[in-house]
Chain A
């Protein structure tokens, strides 16, 4: 009996809190902010909620630092000129601005997968909607429990972070092979400020300042275009694919909310698969 009472008490005391925080067993189809966005963006189009054959979303169930939650959006089939993922929409229900942005892909991407790190407010559903070239929509959903970093180092100097902004590192992972989707990584030094965080030392709020656009091209052709906001973590990092076909430049063009432009370039010398196997 004693155990039962204390159980009831716990439930009673948690009740006011539960009313406001999202829980993993909530119905993701009944979140008001999502429904608003869905009707505004996709109108009456149906979204296949079991999009596993098209797109998978990988995010930690429990994140130690809400400011840096790594996510991987994995396309389940290669991009071809006849069938490809055109666009991915990223939506984080409980964030102050739930629509984190979109990633557009061409068939030249080879694989419409993307990895990045996002800010997550509180316990939330996170969803990715994939739009294929035939206009169909598919979704993948994860529930993420994130909390503020208890022991993160004290906030650094915002001015210093801003003056260092714009350093770009663009690289391909391993030896590129002609015709095979090649993994590349873009890292941009940037505060990507939300404008909503209080500096724990100065007790001030610095204004929002973030990267809003990333355009990736290979041999002058578009591969991936991201239109994003401050939901992307500080020092934005993107891993994506492109298909090399000889010697050409992979380029990144970045624009932030102060209309500053930053560029990165890396020369890619793709080998034929026969050459690489001969090397081994």
Chain B
């Protein structure tokens, strides 16, 4: 076989693979079983854009003996519908609960599709409050970025069940721990641990290969939460963005936060202005991470303005 025909064959194979992967909603990831009964849908980790239909964040579901628990819901009603279809292909069992790990546009808007089916939606009380107060702005932003058609049917869906701290629940016949480590990446972060398999859906505490967007964080709390997660003996960690992680790899998020915090403080102390700090506070080790060009200056601005208020 010539190199050229091999290339053609590989091309055809890739086309077929992508056609299968994009069966329903264009760009919809196929649920990947990462442990018995535990499925993850891994988004592109890029910035939300029309080309990716907003399918950038991770989410997943856990199939128990009597039902399904969904963790995070993507950025649109359409995605939530596609998620329901994807779950149906895996199991006929009903979805019993949706857990929202934190308030961010790429995680909350699919919840409307589950609410239409009468599924209860759970979040930390502070995440629920932020969703109620802020998500209409997020929704307007997403409509602007993705267009009315992509966001059709999407609405602010305030969770109807809340927890105030770490809680153990039984959902669908699986024992899940909802871990809250105090204010960290947001005031109301939850991480969801499937006790049977040791898989943790870390929500926005952990990102893989993507710069976290600082909006409402508390860095010291966030670093402590990462230490806590690291201390658990986990099989796999599903981050907010990027591929699932194991072992020490989750601490990269902490390395970024520490370096960012230290470099913004140094720039601020030396009297560097905000605009210059946004240009010049660079973290070369993270330059290859997704969103670096957009999120790095925004994160610098965010921390700089906090220092100014002190």
Stretch from B34-42, B57-65, B132-140, B230-238 that touches the partner = B132-140
A239 and B274 alpha carbons, distance in the complex (Å):
10
CB distance from B75 to the nearest CB of A (A): 12
A10 and B138 alpha carbons, distance in the complex (Å):
21
Q: Is A269 at the interface (CB under 8 A from chain B)?
A: no
- Asked if B150 and A13 sit within 8 Å, CB to CB, the answer is yes
Q: Which residue of B lies closest to A122 (CB)?
A: B144
Q: Is B186 at the interface (CB under 8 A from chain A)?
A: yes
Q: Which of B137, B215, B276, B294 is in CB contact (< 8 Å) with A62?
A: B294
User: Assuming the A-B contacts A10-B149, A13-B150, A64-B302, are A148 and B137 also in contact, with contact meaning beta carbons closer than 8 angstroms in the complex?
Assistant: yes
Interface string of A84-116 (1 = CB under 8 A from B): 000000000000000000000000000000010
Q: Is B96 at the interface (CB under 8 A from chain A)?
A: no
Q: What is the interface of chain B mostly: helix, strand, loop, or mixed?
A: helix
- Asked if A148 and B148 sit within 8 Å, CB to CB, the answer is no
Q: Which residues of the other chain, A, contact B297 by a CB distance below 8 angstroms?
A: 60
Q: Which residues of the other chain, A, contact B50 by a CB distance below 8 angstroms?
A: 10, 14
A14 and B143 alpha carbons, distance in the complex (Å):
10
Among A14, A58, A173, A185, max chain B CB count under 10 A is at A14
User: Assuming the A-B contacts A17-B148, A147-B144, A151-B103, are A70 and B274 also in contact, with contact meaning beta carbons closer than 8 angstroms in the complex?
Assistant: yes
Q: Is A40 at the interface (CB under 8 A from chain B)?
A: no
A94 and B9 alpha carbons, distance in the complex (Å):
52
- Asked if A60 and B278 sit within 8 Å, CB to CB, the answer is yes
Q: Which residues of the other chain, B, contact A60 by a CB distance below 8 angstroms?
A: 278, 297-298, 301
- Asked if A152 and B216 sit within 8 Å, CB to CB, the answer is yes
CB distance from A156 to the nearest CB of B (A): 12
User: Assuming the A-B contacts A6-B26, A148-B141, A150-B141, are A64 and B134 also in contact, with contact meaning beta carbons closer than 8 angstroms in the complex?
Assistant: no
Interface string of B115-159 (1 = CB under 8 A from A): 000000000000001100111011011011001111000000000
CB distance from A41 to the nearest CB of B (A): 26
Q: Is A201 at the interface (CB under 8 A from chain B)?
A: yes
Q: Is B179 at the interface (CB under 8 A from chain A)?
A: no
User: Count of A residues near B, CB < 8 Å?
Assistant: 38
Q: Is A16 at the interface (CB under 8 A from chain B)?
A: yes
Among A154, A185, A201, max chain B CB count under 10 A is at A154
Q: Is A71 at the interface (CB under 8 A from chain B)?
A: yes
A200 and B104 alpha carbons, distance in the complex (Å):
17
Interface positions of A from 100 to 156, Cβ below 8 Å from B: 115, 117, 147-154
Q: Which residues of the other chain, B, contact A237 by a CB distance below 8 angstroms?
A: 274, 308
- Asked if A17 and B144 sit within 8 Å, CB to CB, the answer is yes
Q: Which residues of the other chain, A, contact B302 by a CB distance below 8 angstroms?
A: 64-65
Q: Is A174 at the interface (CB under 8 A from chain B)?
A: yes
User: Assuming the A-B contacts A10-B149, A152-B134, are A115 and B274 also in contact, with contact meaning beta carbons closer than 8 angstroms in the complex?
Assistant: yes
Q: Is A21 at the interface (CB under 8 A from chain B)?
A: yes
Q: Is A196 at the interface (CB under 8 A from chain B)?
A: no
Q: Is A9 at the interface (CB under 8 A from chain B)?
A: yes
Question: Chain B contact residues (Cβ within 8 angstroms of A): what range?
Answer: 35 or more
Q: Which residue of A lies closest to B272 (CB)?
A: A173
Q: Is A47 at the interface (CB under 8 A from chain B)?
A: no
Interface string of B258-286 (1 = CB under 8 A from A): 00000000000001011110100000000
Interface positions of A from 176 to 223, Cβ below 8 Å from B: 183, 185, 187, 200-201
Interface string of A1-32 (1 = CB under 8 A from B): 00000100110011011000100000000000
- Asked if A115 and B133 sit within 8 Å, CB to CB, the answer is no
A16 and B147 alpha carbons, distance in the complex (Å):
9
Q: Which residues of the other chain, B, contact A21 by a CB distance below 8 angstroms?
A: 144
User: Assuming the A-B contacts A6-B26, A64-B213, A200-B133, are A150 and B294 also in contact, with contact meaning beta carbons closer than 8 angstroms in the complex?
Assistant: no
CB distance from A241 to the nearest CB of B (A): 12
- Asked if A64 and B275 sit within 8 Å, CB to CB, the answer is no
CB distance from A98 to the nearest CB of B (A): 20
Interface positions of B from 199 to 243, Cβ below 8 Å from A: 213, 215-216
- Asked if A16 and B301 sit within 8 Å, CB to CB, the answer is no
Q: Is A68 at the interface (CB under 8 A from chain B)?
A: yes
Q: Which of B130, B148, B273 is in CB contact (< 8 Å) with A151?
A: B130
A-B contact sample (14 more), CB < 8 A, given A117-B274, A151-B186: A9-B149, A13-B150, A58-B275, A60-B278, A64-B213, A70-B278, A71-B275, A72-B273, A154-B129, A174-B271, A185-B273, A200-B134, A235-B308, A239-B273
The contact sample of 25 A-B pairs, CB cut-off 8 A, is: A14-B149, A16-B148, A17-B143, A17-B147, A21-B144, A60-B278, A62-B294, A62-B298, A64-B213, A68-B301, A70-B278, A71-B275, A115-B273, A117-B274, A149-B134, A150-B105, A150-B135, A152-B215, A153-B216, A183-B273, A200-B133, A200-B134, A235-B309, A237-B274, A239-B273
> Closest 5 interchain pairs by CB?
A13-B149, A151-B215, A72-B275, A64-B298, A148-B137
Please report B residues at the A interface, Cβ cutoff 8 Å: 26, 50, 103-105, 129-130, 133-135, 137-138, 140-141, 143-144, 147-150, 186, 213, 215-216, 271, 273-276, 278, 294, 297-298, 301-302, 305, 308-309
